[in-house]
Structures are given as structure tokens and as C-alpha cells.
A and B are shown apart, each in its own frame.
Chain A
Amino acid sequence: MSPRSQVTHAHDTDNEPLVRMVGISKKFGANQVLRNVDLEIRAGEVLVLAGENGAGKSTLIKILGGVHTEFDGEIWIQGRLVRPKSPSDAAALGVAVIYQELSLVPTMTVADNVFLGRSIVKRGFVDHDEQRRRAQQLLDQLGIEIPVESRVEDLPIAQQQLTEIAKALARNARVIVMDEPTSALNAPEVEKLFNLVKDLKQRGCGIVYITHKMEEIQRIADRITVLRDGEHVGTAPASDLPPARLIQWLVGREIEEQFPRHAATPGHERLRLRGFTVLPMHGQLRPPVENVDLVVRAGEIVGIGGLQGSGASELFMGLFGAYGQNVRGEALLDGKLLRIQSPSTAISQGVALLTNDRKATGLVLSMSVIANATLAGLPRISPMGWRRPALERSITASLCDRVSLRAASLDMEVEWLSGGNQQKVALAKWLQTEPRLLLLDEPTRGIDVGAKREVYQLMDALTQQGLAILLITSELPELLAMSDRIIVLHRGMVTAEFDRSSATPERVLAAAMGRQMANRG
């Protein structure tokens, strides 16, 4: 190819965007979700698609990805009017999508998932060796360490998300859409993903990136399109949208102070762990949590820092009784021995656990908002076992107010809520049990700036009333700002403990990577 033709090629793509979506409207029954939305994806740039929970971002992307096929409006891909009829149709048009709610087959291996739908075939049979080799190659390229042979359901959520990313990249698509790809990733993996995005940009791919995280938007956005309540608020170069203005676009008003945390007034000892250990399960070699000592006082938020495999989530699950009696060590709740048997005993003693994977372990998607919100509290709502629908409804309504849920109706199946609103339902469920100790594993996963602030406010208010919170979050700013103390885990063991004044991003990260800190108190 001559240099000249290359120039014209580049010139062409400058003028003609890779994808142009014009006047897209979409209804679910009576619920108008998108109203006349435009979207333009250009080669070699990152377009951030931003908006509150339920604004219609995922829906817009699903239309492009051939998931929703009934809509009004036009889609132009490289100058051709198209209408993706199925995900494979969209893939053939050069569009790859990393979906928010992961679309992996849990019982298949990582390699099989990466090549799902386009298996490498030799003489009519799937060539597993070749698939494994290619998958390994791809993962190496991405700098991801996941055993390609392991089944997806055995992997933690972060690795599942990485697999989903690898699957989309394996398609060599021209347009890559990432719907909240980092919601379960930790700092180092996010870094890898960003390098990858840079790489893709240089290769002339167009990237759509959906996120609720401000730092991410500032780091990688070239242009930003904002949706609000299904309408196109506007599109602008990232440089024209400083954070304050962006937030104004997103929520339609200004937001003061991102992290509303009052100085804690710690009360008596709520939880004390001594030598808490979770025994190894299904073929693990080491205990996922080993000899953890920690104290949480009433009215306190204690953050748990750590990277993938730190054992923080397992600590929560073990404490909550999700592993049955597979734990050792001593746990005292308000000075009394905490009986660890099953989740129901934990709930009856005033412990609540918001898990980090709302779809797999948090919600029953086929049930209504009301049924989900009251599920953990049924023994209290209906002591004799007979249900009280009116009471359930009013309880749910007030809970939904507290977490500012946006749902067309409380009888709607949770499956049809947007990701962030699903998260809010999961949170509402645990508020309903009025716990003494709240274990929060990624509580703001996938929720928008406005709602995040409301969750923080809620955490603050709850601790003012004497609740104790243990918090796991992969977002460092959140961890630093919301925690009164931070305990860092590495491979299941405590490596450091900081109070508010001594915690800095560098020191927390260093401890999370396994460096023992001297100032452990």
C-alpha cells in the first residue's frame, strides 16, 4: 500500500466516524428508556458514555451490540446503514461489547469462553489445544494471570471480568465497547486495562467506555457523551468538561463534597476477631484467610484494603457463616461469642453482608423489588409465616427512598432494573434487617456519582446511630476517604493497619502488595 493511500484512508476515517447512531429511541412496554439519542464513535479515540443509573447507557450499547433489535432510529457503521440483528451479527460488523452483566458460561473453561461462538475448528472438531494456546497468548499479551484451564465459575469476580475483556478483544474488532469494565477490578488491573486501551487507540480502534468513576473519565476520555433519563444531554471534548461541569451535566445540579464523612465517635467494641482463619476449600492449598486479628467499634467504618486474592471477601463470607463451620478462631460480637453456622444465624445475631457480585450471590433476579428487599427480613416481617403484602410494600417504599432507587414499579422484576439500581436493591435488603454489624463488599459497585454520595451519606448516618461497618472497596479514594481506620490484607494475612492520618495511597498500596509495615499498632 502506498503512503498516499494510507493518508487518504486516515483522512476518510477522520471525516466518517466508525459508528454513527442517529435518533435512537427505545421503549420497554410503557417505559420510554431512550429518546432520540445520538452517538458517534470515531477511530483512534475514547468516547466516554456517562450518565446516572438507569439513564439508558447499557440499553444504547445493547442496541448497537444486536441484543435489543426493536428500536427506532438509524445506525451507520462506516458509512453503511445497518441494523444488527444479533450479537454475532454485530460482531461481523466489527463491534465487540464487554457487557456490564457478564455474559460468560460459568461451567466452561476460560479458554472455551474466550472463543465461544467462534471456536477454532480443525477437521470438524474443536481444536482445544490451539484454543488454549491462543487464549494463553492473548492473556499474556494483556498481562493477565488466569489459568486458561479453570472453569469460570471457580474464578473470583475480578478474574471473570478480565476473561470477559479478553473475550471481546479476541474478536479483533474495530469498535470496542466497554460497559463498566473496571467495576470489579483493582488498581493494578485497571492500569493494565488502560495501557491496553491506549494500544487499541493507536491501532485505530474506536472505543466506547462506560463508567461511573470520575478519575477514570479524566484519565482516558477524549470525548464525553452524557445521557440523562434517556435523553442526550450533550457531547463535548473532555477538555471542555472539567469534573464540576461534568457532574452538572450528569445530575442536572451541583454536588457538594464527594465524601461526606463526619469525624467518627467510636463507641464500645462491636466486633473483635482473634486468630480468625478460613480453612482451605475446594482444592485450595493455603487458607484464604489466616490468623486475622481486628477490632471494629460501634460507630466506626473500618476499611479493608487489598488486591486480588487478599482474602478480604473470604473473610466476610467466613464471618457471615457462608462457609458453615469451616472457620477457626474467635469472633466476639458486642462481647459475646458470635455463633458462626449459617447466614441465617448471622442475620439473627445482627450481621449483614452485602456481597460483591449482585447477580450471582446478591439478588434473585426473577423476583420483584419488594420480594428482594424483604427477603432477608421475612422472619421479622411475618413472624407467624403469613405474609403481609401491604406492610412489605410500605417497608420497601421507604427503603427505596433511603437508597434513592429508580424503578418503574416496585413489582417489577429486578432483572429489568439497570445495574446500579440493582445494587441499590441489594443494599436496601440489608438495611431492612437493621444490623449491628454491616459487612460491605464493594457497596458502590456500578452506581452513579449522585447515588454514590447518597450511599456514603447513608453509611455516615448509620454509623452515627452506632452501627459498625467493615468496608471492602477497590476504589482507593473511597477507601481512604470513608474509612476511619484501614486494615490491609495480603494473601489472607494482615500486613498493615493505618489510621486516617497515616493512610496514604502509596503506603496502602505497598502494604497491599505484601510489604510488612512497621507502624502496625
Chain B
Amino acid sequence: MAHQNHQYSPGTARATIGLGIFLVSLLILIALFAAEVLAGFGELDQKMQTAITGLPGISSVLGLAMNLFHCHALTAIKVVFYVGAIIGLAVAARAGRETRGVASWLNLPVCRAILALVLVFLLGVVFSAEGAFGIVGTHRDALRQASVFGLLACGMTLVIIGGGIDLGVGSVLALVSVTFSLMSIHWGWQPWVSVPACLLLGAMCGGLAGTITAGFRIQPFVATLAMMVFARGLAKTVSGGTKISTAVKNPDGTFRYVDVPAVFRFIDSRILDGNLSVVTVIFIVCAVLTWILLARHRWGTHLYAIGGNEEAARLSGVPVTSTKILSYVASGLLAGVAGLCQAAQEQQGDPETGAGYELTAIAIVVIGGTTLTGGRGGIGLTLLGTLTIGYLEKILSINAVPEASRLMLTGVIIVAAVLAQRRKR
């Protein structure tokens, strides 16, 4: 025991081998997928099946696995390479702690966020739902569905970098979505009035929560929890407890149907020959604006400083209170934008919508690699996190994984991603 000699070899060799295995597996998977898209899933699968039956040893093993898991020969082969890719990466990442060069990049949060995304993406390549993953529409929808969460996550990133948390975003989203529907459907307001009004409403909710936490020094968790409950109640009050839809109730109790407002149809439409949703464009624009503020404006630097060491920031002349309040305002504003999108996509204002979205947004931020303790992170990371969660959801849904297992799987994957992001001191 005492005389164990732990000489550490420089892990360069192991890192290279690991990365090599990863890259080769990656390429094979992509090649298989490309062939599948070109030739059609059934075709290729059939060929695989016959090819495998030709080889006695492999066929029995793979055949067993195929029968056990009810999967296609092609899928079984892809699973093998997928596992290979993960093992290669794990080997490289372990070795990367001791070496320099490419393998040590694996320690950077950006690299880890990218790799998490690649692994999730590959999951789609492996379980392509008989080729569905190869269709443009799948990706367009994945991006569209991720956009609302992404908007919330951008705001959440700002708040978390400043050392806070915003639990109110899901409710603010519902409040804005209800208000927007009311204005557009019932009152017939024009978008240039209703959109700014709704955004102002979101920003005010954020500003209120921010003032309570930063101005009166109440823990952000508590202050925004209060906002979460309050805004939900307000949404129900505004809507009278029912969904605001295009079925408008007449005074005599009957319903009349009105047209879906043009602004709803616009937000819910697609551009580029139907290959990109407007919602996604809105998300990307907002993300870029947030990135500019965070990385290129003094305010962003102040936010990082406050999250890193509030007292040192204050003693360096950083206006702590106003900077923090503004981060909540931004978060509320972005929740407002998300609310508009939500209303347009659902074509109604549901006061119950967006429940639990704040948690998804936090998960996205953390998976990206922004630390919950504040001071470290960025919008780029959150963008990667958004894609990771968005694709995960989509892949599970095209493979018809039942809701219950989907939730459990998502939980497991969140933990795995955060573990991979954990900083080593």
C-alpha cells in the first residue's frame, strides 16, 4: 500500500487514441446516416440485414440484440458506433486533464457544451425514426419548439450571471400571452400598439421582481417565486380564468368565431420556402442582441463582476442595484417576447401555459455551462444548451417515446450534462 508508485504518464497517447476513436465513430455514423437518407431507410436496413446474416458470428450476437430490443439491424450497428464514440470521448476527456493541446480543450465549457450537443444530435442519427431525422421539417420543428425556451433561457442567463435567479419567467410568459391574445383577438388592437404594450408589461414584471430583490435585498429566489405566483394570478384575472381563443363569447352566451389575427399568423409562419420558422428568427435576433449587451457593453461586464464578487464590484464603483434590476427587466422583456410567440403558436392565450418553463430555462443555462453561482458563463453557451435540450425533446418525440419515459430520460440527461460541465478545481 505504502509503496505504490503512481507515476503519471503524460496522457497524450491516450488522448489521441480516444479522440481518434471518437472521430472515426462520428464519421461512420454520419456516413451511415447519409447513405440512409439517400437510399431510404428500409432499403439500407434490408441490405444490412442480408449482409449480417452472411457472417455467422456477428449475426447471432446482433440478431439476439435485435430481437431483444425490437430494433433494426441498421440501428443496432449504429448503436455500436455510438457507444464507441462516447467511450472514445470519455477516454480523451480523462486524459485531457493532464495534457495540453487538443485534448485539454475538452476542459473548456464551450467544448463540453458543443460535445453534449453533438452527442444528443448523434442520438438522432442513431435513432432516426426510420429516416425521419433526415427530413428538413424535423429540424425546423426542433428549432421552432426550442425557440420559446431559448428566449427564456437568454434572460435567465443574464440574471444567473449576475448571481440571481428568475423563477417568474414562466408566469410572465403566460400573462403576456393572455394579454396579447386579448388585445389582438377581442379588442382588435393593431400590432404596433399591442406588441410594445405587451413587451412593456413583461419588462415591468421583471423590473418589479428586480426592485424587490435588488432594492430591498430579498433573496432572488423568494422575490421571483412571489412574482411567479403573482403573475400567474394576474394572468387568470386578466383572462377571467378561461382561454382567450378565437371563439369569442357573445353577451347572450353563444360563441362566434373570429379570424386568427394577422400578427399571430405572421409570427407562426415560415420563411425561406417554409424551411425556417419566424419564431426561430425572433429567438436568434434576441439572442444576438443579448450577446451584444453582455459581451460588448459595460453593463454586461458589471453583471459578471457582481456575480463574481458583489462587494468587490461595489467598491470598484459598479452601480450594483441598478445593474441587477436591469438584468431582471431584460429577463422579463424576453419572457414577454416568448409570450408573444407562445400566443401566436397556440393561437390563443392560455393562462395555464408556460408552467414549469422557468425550470427548463434554468436547465438549458446550466447545461450550456453557465454556473449557477454567478460570474461565469455566456449567451453562446446558452445557445448550445438550447439546441441540446431542443434536439433531445425532438428526438424523443419522433421516436414516440412515451411522455413518462421522456420526462425521466430528460432528467437523467440533464444530470449527465451538468456532471460533464462541472469545473475541476
Chain A residues proximal to chain B, CB less than 8 Å: 27, 29-30, 70-72, 74, 80-83, 320, 322, 342-344, 346-348, 353, 355, 360-367, 371, 375-376, 378-379, 382, 385-387, 429
Contact = CB atoms under 8 A, between A and B. Distances in A.
A386 B293 CA distance: 9
A347 B314 CA distance: 11
B5 A360 contact: no
Q: Interface centre among B302, B304, B312, by most A CB within 10 Å?
A: B312
A386 B3 CA distance: 59
6 contacts: A29-B104, A74-B5, A81-B2, A81-B5, A343-B316, A387-B297
Contacts of B318: 344, 375
Contacts of B7: 72
A429 B316 contact: yes
Given A30-B104, A347-B316, A355-B315, 5 more contacts: A70-B8, A70-B98, A72-B8, A366-B307, A376-B316
Given A361-B315, A387-B298, A366 B308 contact: yes
Given A375-B301, A378-B301, A385-B299, A361 B312 contact: yes
Contacts of A379: 298, 317
Contact of A364 (B8, B309, B317, B319): B309
A463 to B, nearest CB: 23
B157 to A, nearest CB: 15
Interface residues of B, number: 33
A322 B311 CA distance: 10
B3 A360 contact: no
Q: Interface centre among B3, B297, B308, B376, by most A CB within 10 Å?
A: B308
A81 B308 CA distance: 40
B110 interface: no
B296 interface: yes
Task: State the majority secondary structure of interface residues on A.
Answer: mixed
Contacts of B185: none
Contact of B375 (A82, A361, A367): A367
Given A364-B375, A366-B375, A385-B297, A375 B313 contact: yes
A386 B314 contact: no
A74 B2 CA distance: 12
Given A347-B317, A361-B315, A371-B305, A82 B2 contact: yes
B304 A366 contact: yes
Contacts of B296: 386-387
B139 interface: no
B241 to A, nearest CB: 44
A72 B7 CA distance: 6
B6 interface: yes
A270 to B, nearest CB: 20
Nearest to A360: B311
Interface in B1-44: 2-8
Given A367-B375, A378-B301, A343 B314 contact: yes
B376 A343 contact: no
Contacts of B315: 320, 322, 343, 353, 355, 361-362
B297 A386 contact: yes
Interface in B264-303: 296-299, 301-302
A285 B362 CA distance: 45
B100 interface: yes
A385 B298 contact: yes
A343 B313 CA distance: 10
Contact of B304 (A72, A81, A360, A364): A364
Given A29-B100, A347-B317, A429-B316, A387 B301 contact: yes
Contacts of A371: 301, 304-305
B97 interface: yes
Contacts of B304: 364, 366-367, 371
A83 B5 CA distance: 9
Contacts of B314: 322, 342-343
A499 B407 CA distance: 75
Given A82-B2, A378-B301, A360 B316 contact: no
Nearest to A354: B315
Contacts of B313: 364, 375
A209 to B, nearest CB: 26
A365 B371 CA distance: 14
A365 B316 contact: no
A123 B6 CA distance: 40
B308 A364 contact: yes
A375 B305 CA distance: 8
A276 B334 CA distance: 48
A74 B100 CA distance: 23
Contact of A80 (B2, B297, B299): B2
Contacts of A72: 7-8
Contacts of B301: 371, 375, 378, 387
Contacts of A74: 5
A343 B305 CA distance: 15
Contacts of B98: 27, 70
Contacts of B302: 378
A382 B308 contact: no
A429 B296 CA distance: 20
Nearest to B306: A364
A71 B6 CA distance: 9
A364 B5 contact: no
Contact of A343 (B2, B297, B299, B317): B317
Contacts of B8: 70-72
Nearest to A430: B316
B311 A367 contact: no
Interface string B371-386: 0000110000000000
A359 B391 CA distance: 41
B299 A362 contact: no
A241 to B, nearest CB: 34
Contact of B376 (A83, A347, A366): A366
Contacts of B4: 81, 83
A367 B308 contact: yes
Nearest to B377: A366
A81 B3 contact: yes
A81 B7 CA distance: 12
A320 B6 CA distance: 53
A378 B376 contact: no
A322 B315 CA distance: 7
Contacts of B100: 27, 29-30
Interface in B94-135: 97-98, 100, 104
Interface string B340-364: 0000000000000000000000000
Contacts of A387: 296-298, 301
Contacts of B6: 83
Contacts of A366: 304, 307-309, 375-376
Contact of B305 (A30, A83, A353, A364): A364
Q: A-B pairs with the 6 shortest C-beta distances? A: A364-B308, A344-B317, A366-B308, A366-B375, A376-B316, A347-B317
Contacts of A27: 98, 100
B24 to A, nearest CB: 27
A27 B3 CA distance: 24
Contacts of B3: 81
Nearest to A80: B2
Q: Interface centre among B3, B317, B376, by most A CB within 10 Å?
A: B317
Nearest to A73: B7
Contacts of A355: 315
